[in-house]
A = this chain, B = another copy of it.
Amino acid sequence: MKKLKNDTLLRALLRQPTEYTPVWLMRQAGRYLSEYNQTRARAGNFLALCKNPNFATEVTMQPLARFPLDAAILFSDILTIPDAMGLGLYFAEGEGPKFERPLREEREIYALSVPDPAVHLRYVIDAVSQIRGALNNQIPLIGFSGSPFTLACYMVEGCGGTDFRQIKTMLYQRPELLHHILNINAQAVIAYLNAQIESGAQAVMIFDTWGGALSHAAYREFSLHYINQIVAGLKREHNGQRIPSIIFTKGGGLWLEAIAESGCDAVGLDWTTDIAEARRRIGHKVSLQGNLDPAVLFAAPEIITTEVEKILTGYGHGHGHVFNLGHGISQFTPPESALVLVEAVHTLSRKYHQ
């Protein structure tokens, strides 16, 4: 095993000493980069981009050529698992993801089965290996999955951005049906993330994009419970290396203590949470990842720098902070602004690590 040249991210996720605060950006390979749009045009569409390991590798590497990021993240979609379950993922032009066959009937739900990643998600596993090759041990690769509840939202609603009427009706009226889906999803996510780890992912992140739409009690029962199962089922080591895990529930700032108890190594924060307060609440248990408002990147360089400094100061002295946005980078972000952010984090954070 060749050693990683820059393992700052992995050390920060494990609350080990680092020289500076590592930084990466959620959705760092994406539409704000012209080269991404060119590759996507060559691939034909977003799904073709995800399903072809060559294209997935190409776009994963693109932001790294522009910015001195401390991690790469697998380029993929969060809905690969339900697609592999046969729900028929597609993207209508100019709209978000949709499923041809959303789960509406009880028999469809009880017919669900856990896809074998080596068979049905081969293209993701191949992409992970290929990206690791392209990275050549310069920086670590993060694998990821959607959370069981977030996947279920799309599976039941059939699309994103809804009022959650279908899934919440199921949640309150037929909780056993939703628990059945979530159980299958949790098993699927464990198999999927472990397959990513075995093929080279050096850290894994669970995106619980819609958990924040739940009530505090429903969040615990229908989202966090299954995230806990996943964390317990993940390979903790691969080839002698610890594989850190990150949990990110957007809108979950009220529930940080419960999330930190999952056994994960790091908790992602959206921008509504004060990182100083979050560190006081859970910083003795886990690392924190976040949490700049992505809209700051629409402002001038000196303002970006000031806002970066505020978050670094908020976290304060010591290790265990991975800088990131509080949500995915906007497609309207000027790429130069991302560079300002990354350089500001690297430069300004050193004094907090002395």
Residue among A216, A307, A310 with the most chain B CB within 10 A?
A: A216
B254 engages A293 (CB within 8 Å): no
Q: A310-B217, A332-B165 are in contact. Are A298 and B173 (CB under 8 A)?
A: yes
Q: A217-B274, A310-B217 are in contact. Are A169 and B212 (CB under 8 A)?
A: no
Query: How many of chain A's residues touch chain B, expressed as a range?
Result: 35 or more
A105 interface residue (CB < 8 Å to B): no
Q: Which of B218, B253, B298 contacts A169 (CB 8 A)?
A: B298
Q: A165-B332, A330-B163 are in contact. Are A299 and B254 (CB under 8 A)?
A: no
| Chain A residues close to B by CB (< 8 Å) | 163-165, 168-169, 171-173, 212, 214-219, 251, 253-254, 271-274, 277, 293, 295-296, 298-300, 303, 307, 310, 326, 330, 332
Chain B residues with CB under 8 Å of A310's CB are 217
Q: Which of B169, B214, B298 contacts A172 (CB 8 A)?
A: B298
B293 engages A218 (CB within 8 Å): yes
Each complex incorporates copies of this chain amounting to 2
Compute how far the CA of A271 lies from the CA of B330 in the bound complex, rounded to whole angstroms: 28
Q: How far is the CB of A7 from chain B (nearest CB, A)?
A: 30
Compute how far the CA of A214 lies from the CA of B271 in the bound complex, rounded to whole angstroms: 8
Q: Which of B163, B215, B332 contacts A272 (CB 8 A)?
A: B215
A272 engages B212 (CB within 8 Å): yes
Q: How far is the CB of A65 from chain B (nearest CB, A)?
A: 26
Chain B residues with CB under 8 Å of A307's CB are 172
Chain B residues with CB under 8 Å of A253's CB are 253-254
Chain B residues with CB under 8 Å of A272's CB are 212, 214-216, 219, 251, 254
Chain B residues with CB under 8 Å of A277's CB are 216
A165 engages B330 (CB within 8 Å): yes
Q: How far is the CB of A176 from chain B (nearest CB, A)?
A: 13
Q: How far is the CB of A325 from chain B (nearest CB, A)?
A: 11
Which residue of B has the minimal Cβ distance to A291? B215
Q: A253-B253, A254-B273 are in contact. List 11 more A-B contacts (CB 8 A).
A: A164-B295, A165-B330, A168-B293, A168-B298, A172-B296, A172-B298, A172-B303, A216-B271, A217-B274, A218-B293, A254-B274
